[in-house]
């Protein structure tokens, strides 16, 4: 009887322990897992390209399907062949019946037609053409199966330990797997080993025949400093993205897998990159070299001003706890720089839109705005918070109005304001 009672109590304790462990795991999952905008395949990683410092990671070694991120490796093999003289940019490659029969997305060339290596690169970067991926594979490897083996072997040589390729396009295959960490490694190796070809990833439009194809990588047009590299999607993986952003000599590389939509994937990447740049700014000085042969008083790039101002804001917040919300204040200039006239290029309820507005203005009229300082100022209003996108430092109203006139000619909104005004 005593033995039975002891056994029952022991079983009860084990049950409680198991329940506690399950509850703990559930809580951790709830805290760490992304929201419903992401699939179970969600994984992400952000690194500082120069130092290799990991600035964010979430299940970076979890195996996922690469989808069209596969084509980054396919292009890596093309660049390798170019570098070793096996092909040139003008080399024609024939379309086989097998390549022609690939599922979309594709260019739709007929069997027997040819495409040059250069056009193939651009088709893979922008259109993410599956038929052209097979054309490349068969030209360089004889067969796509052999080419995939070559891809896997090369992947191992550059440190992609958990990646296996079965095809050149990324179309569904259960054996074709990778990780966020491995994709980071590929992006690093790509720039290190074949940097002279890296500019292709910044191509926003590709004209072939009578059609023009846009790049699927929306960050090229919407997130300042983005110069690559590739998107991907299949049902089993969700929406994926490898991105490379260079701001003032500080390059970040990011990977996001598992977005339920392209928009949620893009928004998540922007959020992670924003946080990474803020972290770098807070932890240490970000030096911004001036352009060669430029006047000493030439303005630093607008986003550099934002980052530096953001760093100053954070330091002030640390000295005066509770006074400043560093999560909502994008930038604020020191009081002595706010005298004179400014121009306002928008007032927004979203801080990112305000930041993009000042960056767009600075890019549109760099000569006119070369002595100004970019700022996004937070202001409380009856309906919430307003972010005013402004450029400060004009000598007078006439100069501010002239700057606005230049921006309006480029279809940008602008009004001159006295920078001492509160409204």
**Where in the chain are the domains?**
50-228, 331-418
Residue at token pair 């392209």: 262
pLDDT value at position 405? 86
Find the catalytic residue in 105, 128, 169, 237. Answer: 128
Sign of the alpha-carbon torsion through 351, 353, 354, 360: positive
> What value does the mean pLDDT take over residues 408-417?
82
d(CA 407, CA 419): 18
88 is catalytic: no
Task: For Cα atoms 105, 124, 170, give the angle at the middle one, nearest 5 degrees.
Answer: 60
pLDDT value at position 374? 78
Domain 331-418 = CATH 3.40.50.2300? no
> DSSP letter string over 58-103?
ESTT--B--GGGHHHHHHHHHHHHHHTTS--TT-EEEPPHHHHTPP
* 3-state DSSP assignment of residue 48: strand
Share above pLDDT 90 across residues of the chain, in percent, rounded to a whole number: 54
> 375 phi and psi, to 5 degrees?
-150, 150
- How would you classify residue 128: left for phi > 0, otherwise alpha for psi between -120 and 50, otherwise beta? left
Strand 238-247 and strand 226-234: pairing?
Answer: antiparallel
Find the catalytic residue in 68, 169, 331, 419. Answer: 68
> What value does the mean pLDDT take over residues 86-98?
97
* 3-state DSSP assignment of residue 318: helix
pLDDT, one tens digit per residue, over 221-230 is: 888 889 999 9
Find the catalytic residue in 71, 106, 250, 270. Answer: 71
pLDDT value at position 420? 53
Q: How far is CA 144 from CA 111, 124, 196, 199, 327, in A?
A: 16, 16, 26, 26, 49
68 is catalytic: yes
pLDDT value at position 191? 94
**168 close to 151: Cβ distance less than 8 angstroms:** yes
In the structure encoding, which two tokens stand for residue 315, read together? 């330091």
Q: What share of the chain is helix, strand, coil (3-state, %, to 5)?
A: 45, 20, 35
d(CA 110, CA 143): 18
Confidence of residue 354 (pLDDT cuts 50, 70, 90): confident
Range ranked top by mean pLDDT from 39-53, 146-160, 286-300: 146-160
d(CA 183, CA 189): 10
Query: Higher-confidence residue: 243 or 397?
Result: 243
Question: Is residue 141's pLDDT more than 90?
Answer: yes
pLDDT value at position 284? 52
d(CA 46, CA 56): 5
d(CA 354, CA 357): 5
**226 close to 269: Cβ distance less than 8 angstroms:** no
pLDDT, one tens digit per residue, over 376-405 is: 887 775 556 777 888 888 878 888 888 888
Question: Is residue 26's pLDDT more than 90?
Answer: no
Q: Which CATH class is domain 50-228?
A: alpha beta
128 is catalytic: yes
């Amino acid at each position: 009887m005593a033995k039975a009672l002891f056994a029952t109590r022991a079983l009860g304790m084990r049950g409680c322990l198991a329940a506690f462990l399950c509850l703990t795991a559930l809580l951790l999952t709830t805290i760490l897992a992304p929201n419903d905008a992401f699939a179970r395949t969600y994984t992400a990683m952000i690194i500082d390209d120069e130092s290799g410092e990991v600035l964010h990671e979430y299940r970076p070694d979890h195996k996922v399907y690469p989808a069209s991120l596969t084509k980054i490796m396919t292009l890596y093999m093309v660049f390798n062949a170019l570098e070793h003289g096996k092909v040139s940019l003008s080399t024609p490659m024939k379309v086989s019946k097998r390549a022609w029969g690939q599922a979309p997305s594709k260019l739709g060339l007929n069997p027997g037609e040819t495409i040059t290596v250069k056009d193939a690169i651009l088709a893979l970067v922008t259109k993410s053409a599956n038929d052209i991926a097979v054309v490349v594979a068969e030209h360089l490897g004889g067969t796509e199966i052999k080419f995939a083996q070559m891809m896997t072997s090369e992947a191992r040589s550059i440190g992609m330990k958990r990646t296996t390729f079965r095809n050149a396009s990324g179309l569904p295959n259960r054996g074709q797997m990778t990780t966020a960490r491995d994709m980071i490694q590929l992006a690093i190796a790509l720039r290190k080993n074949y940097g002279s070809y890296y500019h292709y990833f910044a191509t926003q439009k590709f004209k072939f025949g009578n059609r023009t194809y846009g790049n699927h990588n929306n960050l090229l047009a919407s997130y300042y400093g983005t110069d690559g590299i590739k998107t991907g999607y299949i049902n089993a993986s969700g929406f994926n993205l490898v991105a490379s952003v260079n701001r003032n000599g500080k390059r970040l590389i990011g990977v996001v897998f598992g977005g339920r939509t392209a928009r949620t994937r893009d928004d998540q990447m922007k959020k992670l990159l924003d946080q990474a740049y803020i972290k770098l700014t807070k932890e240490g000085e970000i030096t911004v070299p001036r352009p060669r042969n430029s006047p000493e008083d030439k303005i630093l790039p607008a986003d550099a001003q934002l980052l530096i101002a953001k760093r100053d804001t954070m330091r002030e917040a640390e000295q005066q706890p509770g006074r400043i919300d560093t999560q909502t204040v994008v930038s604020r200039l020191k009081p002595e720089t706010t005298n004179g006239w400014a121009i306002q290029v928008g007032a927004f309820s979203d801080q990112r839109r305000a930041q993009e507005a000042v960056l767009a203005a600075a890019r549109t009229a760099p000569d006119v705005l070369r002595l100004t300082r970019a700022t996004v100022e937070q202001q409380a209003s009856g309906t919430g918070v307003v972010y005013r996108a402004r450029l400060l430092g004009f000598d007078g109203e006439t100069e501010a109005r002239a700057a606005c006139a230049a921006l309006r000619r480029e279809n940008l909104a602008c009004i001159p304001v006295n920078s001492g005004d509160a409204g």
